[in-house]
Chains A and B, each alone.
Chain A
Amino acid sequence: MKYVDEFRDPQLIRNVAGEIARSVDPNHEYRIMEVCGGHTHAIYRHGLQDVLPENLRLVHGPGCPVCVLPTGRVDDGLSIAEHPGVILTAFGDMMRVPGTRGTPLELKARGADIRMVYSPLDALRLAQNEPTKHVCFFAIGFETTAPSTALTLLRAKALGVRNFSIFCNHVTIVPAIRAILESPDMRLDGFIGPGHVSTVSGCRPYEFIARDYGKPVVVAGFEPLDLLEAILMVVRQLNAKEAKVENQYRRIVPWEGNMPALRAMSDVFELRPYFEWRGLGFISQSALKLLPAYAAWDAEVQFEIPGVRVTDPRAAQCGEVLKGVLRPPQCKLFGKECNPEHPVGALMVSSEGACAAYYRYVRYEDDAANAQPVTS
């Protein structure tokens, strides 16, 4: 497969991994955060920790939109589905996220009309096909998915579709990174910048990380070779005592971002003064809401949203994991009360969540050392 095979070439991967091993200072521990959930998933999926030196630790950041959505917002969204005549639509990732009264899939099994869609445009199409119903789209995601929500709203307005609304939970990544950098338990050496988000927002928004906090940032793609190259670039900056923003994902990410997408976003969204992130608490100007001109399509205006606040179970340490203070198996609930079938925290739900990825892909760690290969 073109564009994929080139970035999974075993020889090239071994070469870069070898180069990383030669470049790191054995007396120093490197802690590099991949901000994006897609990267977390790819790292586990390809077993990249196996090819990295022991003193280089990848720390999994807050970049899974499902994981950072507080339970209260899930409850709020699900309350919309309880209005008669409403079809609530959501991405596949959302369907297993638990609210206090169950997951969207469980509510659906009890009779609520909740459907999975692959894009907000599918939800709009559903609204056009079901004129007697109201279709609400439970929007989540970073700058990666926000433009498609924006374009869908622009189209809904242009077509005059009135039985359609958006429950907006879009968040932006930069304030979350800033919150982590400001956190007192922060001990990171550098960042791997998100690939998909940056296709929209470009690389400029990360300049403050290098300038104000002296940490290198390398925006990376999602294939094994992309990630290893980006790690090598971070290590090289650290060795050279440099801190700048670099773009490893040049084949996709334009430095200045994607202007039409950014314009569509600014046409329909404004920043919320503050928004709650699971594990990170309230972060100012970190989320988007619809502009008043779109109130007719804003589920928060159209429905009485209870505005629930739910504190996470006390033993759940999602916040520490999100900030990279703890590794998933260090959470007291990991693999016991909290597992992919019965997730307590959202990091266990989405396949991009650090805990779910860790549970799925590396849980065997202790045993693996004893594995006896029968063949070489």
Chain B
Amino acid sequence: MDILERPPGEVRFRDPQIEMAHGAGGKLTRRLIEGLILPLLRNPVLAPLSDSAVFDMNGVRVATTADAYVVKPLRFAGGSIGELAVNGTVNDLAVAGAHPVGLMATFILEAGLRGDDLRLEVEAVASAARRAGVAIFGGDTKVVEHGFADGMYVSTFGIGTVDPRARLDARAVRAGDRILLSGPIGDHGITILLARGELDLEADTLVSDTRSVLPFVDALLDSAAAGLRWMRDPTRGGVATALNELASECALGIAIFEDAIPLRDEVRGACEILGLDPLHIANEGQLLAVVAAEEADVALEAMQAVPGGERAACIGEVRTAPAKTVLAHNGYGGSRAVDMLVGDPLPRIC
């Protein structure tokens, strides 16, 4: 079969060692995947490097995805690792235009983890799966010695069938297309940062946005399937990284309007104090979509009609130039290029 008969490509990854930043979802992650993993494992299904692999199985378009969740602390305002694992996997399928059929979940447990904590997380997995309308088909359980995992890790696999109306391809994106976002950004990343308790900052009202984005995808497919070009859930690396990937895949420019980007005051405040860019902060329940200009208004209305989508907004548009660049424009005529995240977001001192 063609898929298996590819010789390995050239490995260009030269970093002497793996660092935390290689897992942060930004430039270094991309370098690792494109420079080492992709050349050695390459095949046509893997090549597009999307969150899900989409392929034809006996006439049915199928999407699969795998993910692993390592988060400290295990529970945080608005969610927990179990919930994140289900929602994240569902979302990776959803942005490929797929409806999940089933998930597998593997629990890697650290000796010493309290039974109650494990029960809470399995319950969280169960209820998140119920909410997304998907069953857990199987999985595995392993225990590692104390000190080898932060309590527990969850690894997932998901499979779904692609909605026949979904024709998603970054290369179909055209100048003039609009960029839609389902709601305020940065809630998850900032909640986790504050939950680690290393900062003397509080924002009692802030909770993670972890949720399934399936309702948004359904709303888009029902209202504007023909004009729907591309979707992504901007997790690690944030909106900035997702849009930079889009810009390089479609070889066009992305203009975003800073004043249009929904953002909670608590997130903005924390980012101001820490010198972080909210566009680089992780989200776990937001959807970015590119929709043809003619259908953008109905698509946006459909997103806003979804419960939790009240603050969905059109945040920008695709332009011809500068190619492969994301430019943010503010309300007084200033602009800046928005780069991918390099490494982890690190707070500034002054």
Chain A interface residues toward B at CB < 8 A: 1, 4, 8, 10, 13-14, 17, 37-38, 41, 44-51, 65, 91-93, 95-96, 105-106, 109-110, 116-119, 122, 140-142, 144-145, 196, 224, 340-341, 350-352, 359-364, 367-368, 370-375
Inter-subunit contact A351/B349 (CB<8 Å): no
Contact-residue size bin, chain B (C-beta under 8 Å from the other chain): 35 or more
B interface majority secondary structure: loop
Inter-subunit contact A14/B350 (CB<8 Å): no
Inter-subunit contact B319/A372 (CB<8 Å): yes
Total inter-chain residue pairs, C-beta < 8 Å: 140
> Which of B99-107, B145-153, B340-348 contacts the other chain?
B340-348
Inter-subunit contact A110/B175 (CB<8 Å): no
Q: A364-B322, A371-B320 are known contacts. Are A109 and B327 too (CB-CB below 8 A)?
A: no
Q: A14-B333, A17-B332 are known contacts. Are A105 and B20 too (CB-CB below 8 A)?
A: yes
Is B4 on the interface with A (CB-CB < 8 A)? Answer: no
Inter-subunit contact B347/A110 (CB<8 Å): no
Is B33 on the interface with A (CB-CB < 8 A)? Answer: no
Inter-subunit contact A10/B331 (CB<8 Å): yes
Distance in angstroms from B95 CB to nearest chain A CB is 25
Residues in B with CB closer than 8 Å to A105 are 19-21, 343
Inter-subunit contact B321/A367 (CB<8 Å): yes
Inter-subunit contact A374/B175 (CB<8 Å): yes
Q: A364-B327, A375-B317 are known contacts. Are A351 and B348 too (CB-CB below 8 A)?
A: yes
Inter-subunit contact B27/A341 (CB<8 Å): yes
Inter-subunit contact A1/B350 (CB<8 Å): no
Inter-subunit contact B331/A341 (CB<8 Å): no
Residues in B with CB closer than 8 Å to A50 are 333-335
Distance in angstroms from B25 CB to nearest chain A CB is 14
Residues in A with CB closer than 8 Å to B255 are 371, 373
Residues in B with CB closer than 8 Å to A93 are 346, 348-349
Candidates A1, A118, A145, A224; contact of B265 at CB < 8 Å:
A1
Q: Please, how many angstroms separate the alpha-carbon atoms of A367 and B255 in the complex?
A: 13
Candidates B19, B322, B335; contact of A47 at CB < 8 Å:
B335
Most buried by B among A49, A144, A351, A364: A364
User: CB-defined interface of B298-335 with A at 8 Å, one 1/0 digit per residue?
Assistant: 00000000000000000001111111010101111111
> Which of B64-72, B162-170, B267-275 contacts the other chain?
B267-275
Candidates A13, A46, A92; contact of B346 at CB < 8 Å:
A92
Closest 10 CB pairs of A and B: A47-B334, A367-B322, A92-B346, A10-B331, A361-B336, A13-B332, A10-B332, A364-B322, A92-B347, A144-B350
Least CB separation from A122: chain B residue: B198
Given contacts A368-B321, A370-B321, 9 further A-B contacts (CB under 8 A): A1-B272, A51-B332, A51-B334, A92-B349, A93-B348, A95-B346, A106-B17, A118-B200, A371-B253
Inter-subunit contact B348/A141 (CB<8 Å): no
Residues in B with CB closer than 8 Å to A363 are 337
Is B176 on the interface with A (CB-CB < 8 A)? Answer: yes
Is B34 on the interface with A (CB-CB < 8 A)? Answer: no
Is B192 on the interface with A (CB-CB < 8 A)? Answer: no
Inter-subunit contact A92/B175 (CB<8 Å): no
Candidates B21, B175, B200; contact of A372 at CB < 8 Å:
B175
Distance in angstroms from B204 CB to nearest chain A CB is 17
Residues in B with CB closer than 8 Å to A91 are 347, 349
Residues in B with CB closer than 8 Å to A51 are 332-334
Inter-subunit contact B321/A1 (CB<8 Å): no
Residues in A with CB closer than 8 Å to B293 are 374
Least CB separation from B268: chain A residue: A1
Chain B, 222-240, CB within 8 A of any chain A CB: none
Q: A105-B20, A351-B275, A368-B322 are known contacts. Are A47 and B253 too (CB-CB below 8 A)?
A: no
Q: Please, how many angstroms separate the alpha-carbon atoms of A375 and B297 in the complex?
A: 15
Is B57 on the interface with A (CB-CB < 8 A)? Answer: no
Inter-subunit contact A110/B17 (CB<8 Å): yes
12 contacting pairs across A/B (C-beta < 8 A)? A10-B330, A44-B336, A51-B332, A106-B16, A109-B18, A340-B339, A340-B342, A351-B348, A364-B322, A374-B293, A374-B317, A374-B320
Candidates A65, A117, A340, A372; contact of B321 at CB < 8 Å:
A372
Q: Please, how many angstroms separate the alpha-carbon atoms of A105 and B272 in the complex?
A: 24
Inter-subunit contact B337/A371 (CB<8 Å): no
Q: Please, how many angstroms separate the alpha-carbon atoms of A196 and B275 in the complex?
A: 14
Q: Please, how many angstroms separate the alpha-carbon atoms of A126 and B18 in the complex?
A: 26
Candidates B20, B200, B330, B349; contact of A109 at CB < 8 Å:
B20
Q: Please, how many angstroms separate the alpha-carbon atoms of A352 and B350 in the complex?
A: 9
Is B199 on the interface with A (CB-CB < 8 A)? Answer: yes
Q: A105-B21, A109-B19, A368-B327 are known contacts. Are A46 and B321 too (CB-CB below 8 A)?
A: no
Inter-subunit contact A341/B28 (CB<8 Å): yes
Residues in A with CB closer than 8 Å to B253 are 367, 371
Distance in angstroms from B68 CB to nearest chain A CB is 19
Residues in B with CB closer than 8 Å to A65 are 349-350
Inter-subunit contact B319/A14 (CB<8 Å): no
Distance in angstroms from A6 CB to nearest chain B CB is 14
Q: Please, how many angstroms separate the alpha-carbon atoms of A154 and B253 in the complex?
A: 53
Q: Please, how many angstroms separate the alpha-carbon atoms of A215 and B338 in the complex?
A: 35
Q: A105-B19, A105-B343, A364-B337 are known contacts. Are A1 and B269 too (CB-CB below 8 A)?
A: yes
Candidates B19, B176, B318, B319; contact of A106 at CB < 8 Å:
B19
Residues in A with CB closer than 8 Å to B265 are 1
Distance in angstroms from B286 CB to nearest chain A CB is 21
Distance in angstroms from A91 CB to nearest chain B CB is 4
Chain B, 138-182, CB within 8 A of any chain A CB: 175-176
Inter-subunit contact B346/A96 (CB<8 Å): yes
User: CB-defined interface of B1-44 with A at 8 Å, one 1/0 digit per residue?
Assistant: 00000000000000011111100000110000000000000000
Residues in B with CB closer than 8 Å to A118 are 198-200, 347
